[in-house]
Structure 1
Amino acid sequence: MMTNLFSSFDPLSSLANLPLNWASTALALLFMPYLYWAMPSRASLAWSSLTLTLHKELKILLGPANPGGTLVFVSLFSLIMFNNFLGLIPYIFTSTSHLVMTLSLALPLWLTSMVFGWLNHTKHMFAHLVPSGTPMPLTPLMVLIETVSNIIRPGTLAVRLAANMIAGHLLLTLLGNTGPAWSKTLLPILLFSQLLLLILESAVAIIQSYVFAALTTLYTSEVN
């Protein structure tokens, strides 16, 4: 019996007083297919096809001014997706369900793009605060609204990813804890619903990774 419903997101694992929870993030390096083999495997070919397709998609969003800038966002997508999938494995810490992880990814990228934009494209950044066609009396209000929307962007990115990962995990945990109270005739229904939720969570893991990378790319493209 869990004393706290959210304790499943913060397991106690340590070795010589050294917390090992966040060490699960490095496990992605073990699952990532390497490309130094003479004959690449199907996993390597599938991963190369995925990253190339994502590179083409993000290149359209980023624009022709930064042809190599998509490498950062493809790597960001890979990191988030691997951690999302690792969180679906039992007894592995889900780092992307914590704001410490998601905000650490969103805030530096947003801050560096804002600093670069205000230092190198000051007029463009000021013009972006007032959408075209705005009536003159509404200009101060639009500047305030655009400023607030720009400031809360890293928070919305971080909360969106963490909340989506928490919601599915909580639902799986709640259904799993009610298993002993179910009769034997209803247990197949519970297992089938858990399997459907697991498939849904796998789709959410990919979708949220793409949304995080795509929105970060869009925010970066606005400063160019």
Structure 2
Amino acid sequence: MMTNLFSVFDPSSTINNLSLNWLSTMLGIIMIPMTFWFIPSRYMMMWNKIMMSLHNEFKTLIGYKFINKGSTMIFISLFSMIMFNNFMGLFPYIFTSTSHMTLTLSLALPMWLTFMIFGWINNTNHMFAHLVPQGTPPILMPFMVCIETISNIIRPGTLAIRLAANMIAGHLLLTLLGNTGSSLNMSLLSILIMTQILLLLLESAVSIIQSYVFAVLSTLYSSEIN
């Protein structure tokens, strides 16, 4: 029984004080078809094509001048992990781990922090130059430094909140509509089921889009330190 509307997002299901909800972060590996591991297989070829497309795009975002071998793989892995977790949350009675700030902030904060440490140690002048956009009038420079500093500091928070909020919003809408089903007649119930199916398709698209947005923004933040 839910004590409030947001309790569905509370990771509190336990057996002998062992939390079960966070196991959903690893269930995606179990659900990979066995034929995926055959080489070559259609699943493997499709996934390789997706990875190569992401690799080419991230390589362009980082910049060919500063690219190192394998530097895009961390962002492809990030995309894959978030997408798997987003999709796992669409299954009934499975906790959506990406709707919790514990996970999203754990992904965004260390990555942003390492970018900042690397940038300020190795490219200090370049990082200072980023605080004042090109063409800024001298009288506005102190204000621009404050604005750019604040916008830089809140980046991990915006990354984490964007992902968690989008996952929560769709799941809340599905939950609210689903709870009205017991009080509807057959004609309205069929409309509700169709609406739920359409919302589920929308949530599937949001799952892919939000993982892509998270990975692309992380790539753009890393490109600014070079």
Within a 5 Å distance, the mapping from 1:185-224 to structure 2 comes to 185-224=187-226
TM-score w.r.t. the length of structure 2 is 0.94
Per the alignment, residue 66 of structure 1 pairs with: 67
Within a 5 Å distance, the mapping from 1:7-156 to structure 2 comes to 7-10=7-10, 12-32=12-32, 36-38=37-39, 40-64=40-64, 65-67=66-68, 68-156=70-158
- Indicate how the Cα distance of structure 1 residues 78 and 32 shifts in structure 2: closer, same or farther if over 3 A, else same: farther
Residue type of the partner of 2:188? L
User: For residues 151-182 of structure 1, what are the alpha-carbon distances to aligned partners after superposition, in whole Å with 9 as ceiling and x for unaligned?
Assistant: 00000000000000000000000000000111
Which region of structure 1 is more displaced relative to structure 2, 40-49 or 200-209? 40-49
Measured in 1, the distance between the counterparts of 2:119 and 2:33 equals 36
TM-score w.r.t. the length of structure 1 is 0.95
Q: Is the CA contact 2:25–2:97 (under 8 Å) kept in the aligned structure 1?
A: yes
Which ranges in structure 2 are unaligned for 5 or more consecutive residues? none
Structure 1 ranges of 4+ moved more than 3 A: 31-36
Q: Is the CA contact 1:98–1:162 (under 8 Å) kept in the aligned structure 2?
A: yes
Which ranges in structure 1 are unaligned for 5 or more consecutive residues? none
Q: Is the CA contact 2:99–2:167 (under 8 Å) kept in the aligned structure 1?
A: yes
Q: CA deviation at 1:3?
A: 2.4
Q: CA deviation at 1:4?
A: 1.0
The RMSD of aligned alpha carbons is: 1.4
Measured in 2, the distance between the counterparts of 1:155 and 1:47 equals 30
Per the alignment, residue 6 of structure 2 pairs with: 6
Q: CA deviation at 1:30?
A: 2.1
Measured in 2, the distance between the counterparts of 1:120 and 1:11 equals 40
Residue type of the partner of 1:72? I
Which region of structure 1 is more displaced relative to structure 2, 22-31 or 66-75? 22-31
User: For residues 66-122 of structure 1, what are the alpha-carbon distances to aligned partners after superposition, in whole Å with 9 as ceiling and x for unaligned?
Assistant: 232100000000000000000000111100001110000000000000000000000
Measured in 1, the distance between the counterparts of 2:11 and 2:162 equals 22
Residue type of the partner of 2:109? L
Partner secondary structure for residue 134 of structure 1: coil
Q: Is the CA contact 1:33–1:47 (under 8 Å) kept in the aligned structure 2?
A: no
Measured in 1, the distance between the counterparts of 2:188 and 2:225 equals 56
Measured in 1, the distance between the counterparts of 2:43 and 2:31 equals 10
